[in-house]
Chains A and B, each alone.
Chain A
Amino acid sequence: MSVTSLDPVRSELLAELQQKVERIQSGPTAEPVATHPALSGLLQLRAGGVYGVDAASAALLLAAGPSLAGAWCGIVGVQDLGVEAAQTYGLQLERTIVVPEPRERWLEVVAALADVVDLVLVRPPGPVRQGEAARLAARLRKRGAVLVAWGEWPRCDARLTVAGTRWEGLEQGHGRLKARRVRLEVRRGAAPPRERELWLPAADLAVRPVEAEQVRRVEAVPDPVRVVS
């Protein structure tokens, strides 16, 4: 018996088809979930979906949407949570449950929380196996909960990454950090990424898209300088 290796185009096609099948299977439960207004048109959370992020602020921004609309949120495995920043982005702390150190039982904790809250933000302590992720995804679909995975996660519905950051207000030896412009990128399967520039937060601590006339691409950042001494 021989296994023919798939060429990249076909495997991409397969992945796309797989996603389509999943989308159809999860059909009726995939109701839209309230998303942060700053992300409208860029990313719409759906019940039962898994969303990957790579930074604390992006994770908190995703969690803030449902929380602002009155939902409960669970945060699992995040020991270094900036509570005040979370509040700035709109997370309602009185409806937030934090499990800072679930250790090796983090998957059970996420599953238990997914039964009762509408959004779970998890930072897995190690690599996640395909099987575990699939079982959890089935549970999420059944319960209509959203999972925001901070870090590597096999097969996300969409992945939100902070592609560029520029802080304003800080100079050489004076000023202070006042506002931050970020370029957010949303990748969904093999489709080309969509991006948007956001104040995260603006000088008045609001989170909103950068107005059209102000849009200047945040320059690509150079690599950190390595010094050999």
Chain B
Amino acid sequence: MSVSPPLRTMTVWCPDWPVMAALEELRPDAPVAVLENNVVLACSPAARVDGVRRGMRRRDAQARCPELVLAPSRPDADARAFDAVLEAVEELSPGVAPLRPGLCALRVPTRFYGGEAEAAAVIAERIVSLGVWDVRLGVADGLFAAEQAARRAAPQDVVVVPTGGSGDFLADLPVEVLDDPELVSLLRRLGLSSLGAFARLPQSDVHTRFGTHGALLHRLASGGDPHPISRRQPPPELVAALALEPPLSLVEPIAFSLRTTAERFVADLAGHGLVCTAVRIEADVDGVVSSSRRWAHPRWFGTADLVDRVRWQLTAQPAHGPVEAVRLVPEVVEPLGDHADALFGPGADEQVERGVARVQSLVGHDGVVAPSVQGGRGPASRRALVTWGERADGVRPAARPWPGQVPAPAPATVYREPFPALVVGAEDQVVGVDGRGGISCPPARFRAQQGDPWQRVAAWAGPWPVDEQWWDEAAARRVARFQVVGVDGSAWLMVVENGQWWTEARYD
């Protein structure tokens, strides 16, 4: 009886993944740091040269590298960007388990590529072709050792830990790689600075002293891996096909014969707990696809819906000859559970999410936003529009006091870009505001935007000076706001900055 070889794990690591997304909009050699909770989460090579490190406070990072570009952390966007890498790896080898943006694991496809290093080279080449030049791979028995191996690999290279050699490989590493600050600090104080030293402790003693969690980390340190990687299930074969013998040219008989196929299609999906919300219908003539079209359904396809779609498609784009085969290819399938709610209640939110997904397919992911009110002084800065489905990062709390904010009621129209306005006194001289908050003359007439007719001022108030972020040269703003009502009853919020009037909002 032969012992089956242990399953080997490969990890693919793209270092500083959060920075990659941020760098796309800047020069590749720009110093960039991605911040989370005011602490550097990741930084670009240029920033690292200047001494910026992961875990550093923002102020320290800026002190080392004054021209550092700071970007907020956007985990959702990172994960979305990493999908391209996952798909590329999945093309080469099935069963990829994403661990976090920038890191994924898979079983090593040794036999097909003729070796572990060869397989790694193929995968690295594929990822580099996506434009991700810094990719590192590691191969080991377990996930933990494989990740550590990838971290010690050169760019576009692989470190292979031989079978059974995980313990030896890990022994020299510092205890910090365990990523548990509390335990690491304790081990350091106990004089255990390497994983090897930690691994040499008897397992029962570790369990007594550090509990289950400590015992788990002890097993990691000694090269045993408790986590088998969980693979994504390949989707089941759900395409339903109907072969027509002899081929038919009339639409009605085709639709009639298709009924049982459509029933089987819906039943197969239901057997997997799925429903189909988008389907591609293909019809073959003389062995080639002559008619193909994608159909989406606001809820999901039933048998009658599918037969209708086939009938519509074949009527709208008639085949060139007798149809030999019709195929129903599910393009989007969703769990039945998401839709089952609708039987008992409105099930609104799930449906809304689906509707939004459809709108996003029309106008792009960033085209749909969720509105909210955030803290700020001007009406435009109090408006927060967050891309639908993303977490609202960087939204300022509205409940705090914001001294100098424009008093309620809020304007119903807040212009995205303020446009130049003109406010003049009785002698047609532009109204100015001096440094002490005085005005040069009372406003008499105004023009809210170029091209508008001049209007007499019926009532006005101001200036309300705002001196924002004087400590930051780039963001500092000294403005004075006015409320102006014209004789036609229209009310405006205007702002003076450096002698120039702008219309910010309209109370309409």
Contact B487 A227 (CB under 8 A): no
The reply on A30 being an interface residue by CB < 8 A is: no
Considering residues A88, A112, A180, which has the most beta carbons from chain B within 10 angstroms of its beta carbon? A112
Apart from A113-B355, A116-B354: 13 A-B pairs, beta carbons within 8 A: A56-B508, A82-B383, A83-B373, A83-B383, A97-B356, A97-B359, A103-B363, A166-B489, A176-B407, A221-B489, A225-B445, A225-B454, A226-B454
Contact B508 A55 (CB under 8 A): yes
User: In the complex, which residues 130-176 of chain B have their Cβ closer than 8 Å to any Cβ of chain A?
Assistant: none
User: In the complex, which residues 102-155 of chain A have their Cβ closer than 8 Å to any Cβ of chain B?
Assistant: 102-103, 105, 108-109, 112-113, 115-117
Contact A99 B455 (CB under 8 A): no
User: In the complex, which residues 90-108 of chain A have their Cβ closer than 8 Å to any Cβ of chain B?
Assistant: 93-94, 96-103, 105, 108
User: In the complex, which residues 171-198 of chain A have their Cβ closer than 8 Å to any Cβ of chain B?
Assistant: 171-180
Q: What residue of chain B has the Cβ atom nearest to residue A56's Cβ?
A: B412
The CA-CA distance from A100 to B486 in the complex, in Å, is 29
Contact A98 B369 (CB under 8 A): yes
Which residues from chain A sit less than 8 Å from chain B, CB to CB?
55-57, 60, 72, 75, 79-88, 93-94, 96-103, 105, 108-109, 112-113, 115-117, 162, 164-167, 170-180, 201, 205, 221-227, 229
Residues on B with beta carbons closer than 8 Å to the beta carbon of A112: 355, 358-359, 362
Residues on B with beta carbons closer than 8 Å to the beta carbon of A227: 445, 454
Contact A221 B487 (CB under 8 A): yes
* Interchain residue pairs A-B with the least CB separation, the first 8: A116-B355, A84-B410, A165-B489, A56-B412, A170-B459, A85-B412, A85-B410, A82-B412
Contact B442 A173 (CB under 8 A): yes
**Which of these, A84, A97, A229, contacts B388 with CB under 8 Å?**
A97
Q: What residue of chain A has the Cβ atom nearest to residue B456's Cβ?
A: A225
Contact A116 B351 (CB under 8 A): yes
Residues on B with beta carbons closer than 8 Å to the beta carbon of A221: 487-489
Contact B388 A224 (CB under 8 A): no
Contact B355 A101 (CB under 8 A): no
24 contacts across the A-B interface (CB closer than 8 A):
A60-B412, A72-B348, A82-B505, A83-B383, A93-B372, A94-B370, A96-B370, A97-B359, A99-B369, A100-B369, A101-B363, A103-B363, A170-B460, A170-B461, A171-B461, A173-B460, A176-B483, A205-B408, A222-B487, A224-B454, A224-B455, A224-B456, A225-B454, A225-B455
Contact B454 A171 (CB under 8 A): no
The reply on B413 being an interface residue by CB < 8 A is: yes
Contact A226 B453 (CB under 8 A): yes
The CA-CA distance from A85 to B409 in the complex, in Å, is 7
For the complex, would chain A's binding face be called helix, strand, loop or mixed by DSSP majority? mixed
Interface size on B, residues (CB 8 A): 56
Contact B371 A201 (CB under 8 A): no
For the complex, would chain B's binding face be called helix, strand, loop or mixed by DSSP majority? mixed
The reply on B491 being an interface residue by CB < 8 A is: yes
The CA-CA distance from A221 to B487 in the complex, in Å, is 8
The reply on B316 being an interface residue by CB < 8 A is: no
Q: What residue of chain B has the Cβ atom nearest to residue A228's Cβ?
A: B454
**Which of these, B409, B416, B488, contacts A224 with CB under 8 Å?**
B488
A167-B370 CB under 8 A given contacts A172-B442, A177-B491: no
Residues on B with beta carbons closer than 8 Å to the beta carbon of A87: 373
Contact A82 B411 (CB under 8 A): yes
Residues on B with beta carbons closer than 8 Å to the beta carbon of A94: 370, 372
Nearest-Cβ distance from residue B234 to partner chain A, whole angstroms: 31
A165-B483 CB under 8 A given contacts A98-B385, A100-B385: no
Contact B371 A86 (CB under 8 A): yes
User: In the complex, which residues 110-126 of chain B have their Cβ closer than 8 Å to any Cβ of chain A?
Assistant: none
Contact B362 A109 (CB under 8 A): yes
- B405-431 vs A, CB cutoff 8 Å, 1 = contact: the mask equals 001111111111000000000001000
The reply on B368 being an interface residue by CB < 8 A is: yes
Residues on B with beta carbons closer than 8 Å to the beta carbon of A98: 368-371, 385
Contact B371 A93 (CB under 8 A): yes
The CA-CA distance from A99 to B367 in the complex, in Å, is 6
Residues on B with beta carbons closer than 8 Å to the beta carbon of A116: 298, 348, 351-352, 354-356
A80-B416 CB under 8 A given contacts A72-B348, A117-B352, A180-B409: yes
Q: What residue of chain A has the Cβ atom nearest to residue B384's Cβ?
A: A83
Considering residues A84, A88, A101, which has the most beta carbons from chain B within 10 angstroms of its beta carbon? A84
A172-B348 CB under 8 A given contacts A82-B411, A83-B372: no
Residues on B with beta carbons closer than 8 Å to the beta carbon of A100: 367, 369, 385
The CA-CA distance from A87 to B367 in the complex, in Å, is 22
Residues on B with beta carbons closer than 8 Å to the beta carbon of A170: 459-461, 483, 485, 491
**Which of these, B370, B373, B413, B507, contacts A177 with CB under 8 Å?**
B507
Contact B485 A224 (CB under 8 A): no
The CA-CA distance from A75 to B416 in the complex, in Å, is 16
The reply on B31 being an interface residue by CB < 8 A is: no
The reply on B101 being an interface residue by CB < 8 A is: no
The reply on B223 being an interface residue by CB < 8 A is: no
The CA-CA distance from A100 to B415 in the complex, in Å, is 12
Contact B409 A201 (CB under 8 A): yes
Residues on A with beta carbons closer than 8 Å to the beta carbon of B219: none
The CA-CA distance from A108 to B360 in the complex, in Å, is 11
The CA-CA distance from A171 to B455 in the complex, in Å, is 17
The CA-CA distance from A81 to B382 in the complex, in Å, is 12
Residues on A with beta carbons closer than 8 Å to the beta carbon of B483: 170, 176-177
Residues on A with beta carbons closer than 8 Å to the beta carbon of B415: 80
Considering residues A60, A97, A113, A201, which has the most beta carbons from chain B within 10 angstroms of its beta carbon? A97
